[in-house]
Amino acid sequence: MDPLIVGLDPGSTIGYAILNLDGELISVDSIKSSLNDVISKVSKFGKIIIVGADVDPVPKMVEKFSSLTGAKIVFPNGNMLFIKKRDMTRGYLKNKDIKLKNRHELDALAAALIAWKSFKTLFNKIENEIHDEKISKEVKKLVIIENMPIKKALNKIC
């Protein structure tokens, strides 16, 4: 299963955005449903290894999502202003044919981008050391999920 980064905007309407480890948008949506339904929908795309929030402190629903999926939580230092989230998501979607339907999706995408950017340098380092895409994905999963050093993760896979 492909490793995923999920940005989550909790509430009565739950917004979620799914990125792969290359930062490519897989899906963005918002639904009036339960957290378990969101986990079920998102899990169809792959293995959730990182969940992002756009606020500090992390909402209880994001903590529960993390607990149920085993995903590592990433959040900003302090709350992000709406203008910053809007600019971040606009820049990201600039050349994509994707329109966000509401604020929940915008917040979820911002949260996913925060999470992805926090690991981007590490992911680039792994890709520079390992030129096989399949092995690189597996190493990234072990490094994130098990907090394993790159070399040890590579040895475990190969």
For residue 5, give Cα distances in angstroms to 16, 50, 131: 10, 5, 22
Question: Tell me, what's the pLDDT at 128?
Answer: 93
Q: pLDDT (tens digit, 0 to 9) for every residue of the chain, 158 residues total?
A: 899 999 999 999 999 999 999 999 999 999 999 999 999 999 999 999 999 999 999 999 999 999 999 999 999 998 889 999 999 999 999 999 999 999 999 999 999 999 999 999 999 999 999 999 999 999 999 999 999 999 999 999 88
What amino acid is encoded at 83 in this protein? I
Q: The whole model's pTM is what? A: 0.93
Tens of pLDDT, residue by residue over 83-127, are 999 999 999 999 999 999 999 999 999 999 999 999 999 999 999
Q: Kindly give the interhelix angle for 150-157 and 103-129, rounded to the nearest 10 degrees.
A: 80
Question: Tell me, what's the pLDDT at 68?
Answer: 97
Q: Which residue has the tokens 């929908």?
A: 41
Question: Tell me, what's the pLDDT at 79?
Answer: 86
Question: Tell me, what's the pLDDT at 149?
Answer: 94
Question: Tell me, what's the pLDDT at 20?
Answer: 96
Q: How far apart are CA 10 and CA 53, in angstroms?
A: 9
Enter the DSSP assignment of 33: S
Q: Give me the residues paired with residue 27 across strands.
A: 18
For residue 113, give Cα distances in angstroms to 6, 18, 23, 25: 9, 10, 8, 10
- 95-122 burial code (b ≥16 CB/10 A, e <16): eeeeebeebbbbbbbbbbbbbbebbeee
Question: Tell me, what's the pLDDT at 25?
Answer: 97
Residues 6+ apart with CB under 8 A from 90: none
